[in-house]
Amino acid sequence: MEDRSHLTTLKGAYDHKMMEVTLRVRRYAGEGARAHTETYTVDVPVTATLLDCLDEIKDKQDGTLAFRKSCRMAVCGSCGMRMDGGAVLACKTAMKPFVDAGHTVTVSPMGNLPVIKDLVVDMAPFWSKIRAIKPYLDTGGAKAPEKEWRVTPVQGHLVSKEALCILCGCCVSECISMESDPDFLGPAALAKAYRFVGDVRDGDTRARLKDLSGAHGIWDCTRCYFCNQRCPKGVDPRDAIAKLGAEAFREGLTRDEGARHAKVFVNSAHKGGFLRETELVPKTIGPVAAITQIPFALQLARAGKVPNPLAPHKAKDNAEVKRLWKLLESQAPKQKERANSGAPIDGTES
Amino acid sequence: MQERYAYYPGCLASLSQKELDSSTRAIAAKLDVELIDMPSVTCCGAGDIHEAKPDYHLHLSARILGQAERSGAEVLLTICNVCTLNLRQANSKLQNDPAELARVNDNLKATGIGGYNGGVDVRHLLWEVSQGEGYDRFKSVATRSLEGLKVAPFYGCQILRPAKMLGFEDPDRPQSLERLIEACGAEAIDYPAKIKCCGFPIVLAREQVALGELVQPLQQATEAGADVMVTPCPLCHLSLDAWQKKASDHAGADFKIPVLHLAQLLGAAAGLDEQTLKFRRHITRLDDSVKGKLRLPSVVGR
C-alpha cells in the first residue's frame, strides 16, 4: 500500500485489522420447509457490523441466504432481525464485543411477523396497523394558513422522539401483548399515532384518541417495556403509549376498562393514599362482570388476600394529597395546544 | 448495602401480600439493617397514575422521595418492580431537571407539603443483597442450605426494562436472582420467559390477553422441572400465584407450581419459619415435598 501517513486525519481508515466472526443463522426456505440453523465463519474487519458479516456470507459463501438491507446507516429501517432472541438493526450492531467475549451469536427473523424466507419477514401486518392509525396530518377542518404553520421549538419538541421512528419493526418484534393478541395495534403504530395526536397542527385529536382507546388499542399495552429497550432510535414507544393515555384522560375519554382501572389508582391516592383493591375489580370491569369474579375473589379471601373493604387502609396526612390533587387539576391544561396558523412567532412580520 | 433504609413496601405488601412485608422485615433484621417506616406515603401509582395523570405522578413521587430524604436515609428501599420503576422514573426527572424540581417544590410548598432536594436513590431489595457487601451479609446468614430445591427465577419486566432507568444488570442476561438462588444452596433453572411479562397490569382490563402472557413463564418453568418459582415483584407474584388456575384453564394445562416472594426464599435459607414467611397465604399451595425442600422448621421438626 502507498504511504498515506501524511493523511493524519484519516489515520485508522486504512487500518485493515481483521477478526473472525462465527454466526449461527436460522434458515427457512419458505412455506412447507423445515427451519434449521446453519453456522458460518467469516473473516471481516474489526469494525464489521452484523450486516457486514451477513453480506460477507452472501457474497462469498452462500448466495441463497435472504435478508433485507439498504442504507447501512440505521436510517432506512430495513435490516431489523433478532440476535440472540432480541431485535436489532443488523447495520447498527458491532460484532467486535461478541468476538472479544468469545460468544457465538444466533441470528433469527423478527418475532410477531410471519417469516417469508430466512431473515425476511412479511411486513404487511405491520403496515396495515400503521395505516390504521391515519398516519398523516388532519387539520380537522381548520383553514390552512396562508404561508405556513408556525410551530415553536417547544411545540415541535412534543413529538420529536416519536418523529425519529424509522419503521423497522424492532419494537413490534418483541411486543408481548401482541404475542398474546395479534390484533393489538402495537408499539410502532401507537408511537406513530402519538406523533399526530401530539402534533400542534393536527385537529383530529379527539376522534383519533377515541379510536385508539378501544379494543386492541392503548389499554392493551402490558407495560413490559421491551419496545423501549429494543428501539434502535430512542423513540421509546411505551412512553408514547403513556402519553396517549394522558391525552385520552385530558379529553375525558375514560370509558375503556383500562382507563377505568387507571382512574381507580388516581382516585385512591387522594382518597386514602393506598390502592383500594376491593374497588378495583367492580370499577374496572363493571358491577355485572364483577359478579362473575366472585368465586375467584372468595378463593383470594380464604388466603387472606382481600383487604377489609369497610376499613380501608389509610395513609397518614392524606389531606395533603387531596390539596395537591386539587391544585394540580386547576393547573392542568383543559385543551390541546394548537399551532398558530400564520402568526409570526418571533414578534416580527413574516 | 446501607445500615438504614427508608422502607417503601408499596400497596400490595401493605394490603393483600402481607407475607412479603413480614418476610422482608424479618430478613432485614437478620441482615442487621434498619427499615425506617414512612406512614404518610401514598401508592406509587403502579404506572396507572403515571399514564393517566403524569404530573400528579411526578408530584406524588416527589412527596414520597421527600419523606425518605427527611428520614435521614440515603436510599429508599423497594420490594416491588413497579414501585422501583415508577419512583426511579420520577426521581430521574427531578434529579436531572432543576426547573422541574423547582416547579414541583413550589407546588408542594403551596399545599403545605415538605419538599425534595433530589438526594435519595431508589433501590430494590434484590439489588442490595445480590452483590457486594449485601451479598456477603446474606451469605453469612444463609445457614440453612436449600439443597435439592429447583428454583425458576422470574424477574418480571420493570426491574430490567427500560435499562436506562434501572441499569442494575444486563436486561437480557440478568444473573442477580440466580446468584441468590445459588447462595441459598438451591439450583437455578434456566428458561427463556424468565425476563418476560406476567400480564398483571392488564389482567383486569384485558384478562384474555394477560392470561396469554402469563402462560409462557408458568409453562416453561414447569417443563424445565422447577419445584418453585421466585420473583422480586408482588404483582408478578399475584399473577403467577393467584391467576395460575385461570392460566391453566386458558392453556388447557394443569399448572401447580408454587411461587415464592424473593424475601421468602431468602428467609427460608436464613432459617425463618412459616410463622414469619406465611406461605399459607399463597393461593397455589406448597405441597409437603416442597415444604420439605424448603426445610421449614415446622416441617423438619415434625
Q: Do domains B4-125 and B145-300 have the same CATH topology?
A: no
Interface touch A256/B205, C-beta < 8 Å: yes
Long-range contacts from B248-252, C-beta under 8 angstroms, 24+ separation: B248/B218, B250/B208, B250/B211, B250/B212, B250/B214, B250/B215, B251/B211, B251/B215, B251/B218, B251/B219
Q: Do domains A18-121 and A124-250 have the same CATH topology?
A: no
Please say whether the beta carbons of B279 and B19 come within 8 A.
yes
Q: Which residue has the cell 376499613?
A: A311
Is residue B24 exposed (0-12), middle (13-18) or buried (19+ Cβ within 10 Å)?
Answer: buried
Is residue A136 exposed (0-12), middle (13-18) or buried (19+ Cβ within 10 Å)?
Answer: exposed
- Better-scored residue on pLDDT, A139 or B96: B96
Sign of the Cα pseudo-torsion (A83, A88, A94, A100, in order): negative
- Better-scored residue on pLDDT, A342 or A44: A44
In DSSP notation, B280-302 reads GG-SS---HHHHHHHT-HHHHT-
Residue range B184-209, pLDDT digits in tens: 999 999 999 999 999 999 999 999 99
The reply to whether CATH 3.40.50.300 applies to domain A18-121 is: no
Please say whether the beta carbons of A37 and A26 come within 8 A.
yes
Residue B150, SS3? strand
Band of pLDDT at residue B295, cut at 50, 70 and 90: confident
Q: Which of A105, A183, A222, A271 to mutate to test the interface with B (most CBs of B within 10 A)?
A: A222
Specify the pLDDT at position A67. Answer: 98
ipTM of the complex: 0.95
Is residue B260 exposed (0-12), middle (13-18) or buried (19+ Cβ within 10 Å)?
Answer: buried
Band of pLDDT at residue B88, cut at 50, 70 and 90: very high
Q: Which of A219, A265, A320 is nearest residue B113 as measured by Cβ atoms?
A: A320
Residue range A57-108, pLDDT digits in tens: 999 999 999 999 999 999 999 999 999 999 999 999 999 999 999 999 999 9
Specify the pLDDT at position A283. Answer: 84
Strand partners, A44: A19
Size of interface A-B (CB pairs under 8 A): 201
Instruction: Give me A159's grid cell.
Output: 413529538
Which residues are CB-contacts of A170 (< 8 A; sequence separation ≥ 6)? A80, A87, A88, A89, A110, A230, A231, A232
Rg of chain A over all Cα atoms, to the nearest angstrom: 26
Cis peptide bond prior to B162, omega within 30° of 0:
yes
Task: Chain B: give the shortest CA distance to residue A97, in Å.
Answer: 14
Q: Is A106 on the interface with B (CB under 8 A)?
A: no
Band of pLDDT at residue A336, cut at 50, 70 and 90: confident
In DSSP notation, B175-240 reads -HHHHHHHHTT-EEPP-GGGGS---GGGTTTSHHHHHHHHHHHHHHHHHTT-SEEEES-HHHHHHH
Specify the pLDDT at position A345. Answer: 47
- What is the percentage of chain A residues whose pLDDT exceeds 70? 92
> What's the farthest any 2 CA atoms get from each other in chain B?
62
Specify the pLDDT at position B95. Answer: 98
Instruction: Give me A136's grid cell.
Output: 398523516
Interface touch B202/A222, C-beta < 8 Å: yes
Specify the pLDDT at position A245. Answer: 97
The length of chain A in residues reads 350
Specify the pLDDT at position A292. Answer: 79
Sign of the Cα pseudo-torsion (B275, B279, B283, B287, in order): negative
Q: Any idea of the CA torsion for B203, B208, B212, B218, to the nearest 10 degrees?
A: 60
Please say whether the beta carbons of B198 and B235 come within 8 A.
yes
Instruction: Give me A53's grid cell.
Output: 458479516
Chain centroid to Cα A47, Å, comes to 29
Nearest CA in chain A to B114: A320
Interface touch A273/B54, C-beta < 8 Å: no
Interface touch A246/B52, C-beta < 8 Å: yes
Q: Per-residue pLDDT averaged across B149-175, rounded?
A: 97
Residue B244, SS3? helix
Specify the pLDDT at position B267. Answer: 97
Residue B5, SS3? strand
Q: Which residue has the cell 493523511?
A: A7
Query: Does A219 have pLDDT greater than 60?
Result: yes
**Count of CA atoms in the C-beta half-sphere (13 A) of B201:** 26
Q: Which of B18, B42, B71, B106 to mutate to test the interface with A (most CBs of A within 10 A)?
A: B42
Mean pLDDT, rounded, of chain B: 95
**Cα(B295)–Cα(B291) distance, rounded to whole angstroms?**
6
Give me the residue spans of the domains in chain A: 18-121, 124-250, 257-331
Q: Which of A83, A278, A305, A308 to mutate to test the interface with B (most CBs of B within 10 A)?
A: A305
Band of pLDDT at residue A1, cut at 50, 70 and 90: low
Helix (H) or strand (E) holding B158: none
**Cα(B168)–Cα(A201) distance, rounded to whole angstroms?**
41
Band of pLDDT at residue A344, cut at 50, 70 and 90: very low
Please say whether the beta carbons of A234 and A164 come within 8 A.
yes
Query: Does A233 have pLDDT greater than 50?
Result: yes
Which residues are CB-contacts of B145 (< 8 A; sequence separation ≥ 6)? B184, B185, B269
Pairing of strands B121-124, B75-78: parallel
Specify the pLDDT at position A3. Answer: 67
* DSSP state at residue B279: G
- Tell me which amino acid residue A255 is: R
Contacts with B60 from chain A: Cβ below 8 Å:
269, 321, 324
The reply to whether CATH 1.20.1050.140 applies to domain B4-125 is: yes
Query: Does A343 have pLDDT greater than 80?
Result: no
Per-residue H/E/C for chain A: CCCCCCCHHHCCCCCCCEEEEEEEEEECCCCCCCCEEEEEEEEEECCCEHHHHHHHHHHHCCCCCCCCCCCCCCCCCCCEEEECCEEEEHHHCECHHHHHCCCCEEEECCCCCCEEECCEECCHHHHHHHHHCCCCCCCCCCCCCCCCEECCHHHHHCCCCHHHCCCCCHHHHHCHHHHHCCCCCHHHHHHHHHHHHCCCCCCCHHHHHHHHCCCCCHHHCCCCCHHHHHCCCCCCHHHHHHHHHHHHHHCCCCCCHHHHHHHHHHHHHHCCECCCHHHHHHHHHCHHHHHCCHHHHHHHHHCCCCCCCCCCCECCCHHHHHHHHHHHHHHCCCCCCCCEECCCCCCCCC
Band of pLDDT at residue A270, cut at 50, 70 and 90: confident
Give me the residue spans of the domains in chain B: 4-125, 145-300
Q: Per-residue pLDDT averaged across A224-251, rounded?
A: 98
Interface touch A318/B110, C-beta < 8 Å: no
Angle between the B98-110 and B81-96 helix axes, to the nearest 10 degrees?
Answer: 110
**Residue whose C-alpha is closest to residue B229's, from B159, B185, B141, B290:** B290
Please say whether the beta carbons of A27 and A36 come within 8 A.
yes
Query: Does A348 have pLDDT greater than 50?
Result: no
Q: Which of A177, A249, A273 is nearest residue B43 as measured by Cβ atoms?
A: A273
Q: Per-residue pLDDT averaged across B123-139, rounded?
A: 98
- Better-scored residue on pLDDT, A31 or A94: A94
CATH architecture of B145-300: 3-Layer(aba) Sandwich (3.40)
Specify the pLDDT at position A12. Answer: 59
**Cα(B18)–Cα(B291) distance, rounded to whole angstroms?**
20
Residue B273, SS3? coil
Please say whether the beta carbons of A111 and A174 come within 8 A.
yes
* DSSP state at residue B145: -
CATH architecture of A124-250: Orthogonal Bundle (1.10)
Specify the pLDDT at position A7. Answer: 57
* Weakest-pLDDT range from A60-64, A148-152, A219-223: A148-152
Residue range A289-318, pLDDT digits in tens: 888 788 888 888 888 888 776 666 788 899
Band of pLDDT at residue A341, cut at 50, 70 and 90: low
Please say whether the beta carbons of B122 and B67 come within 8 A.
no
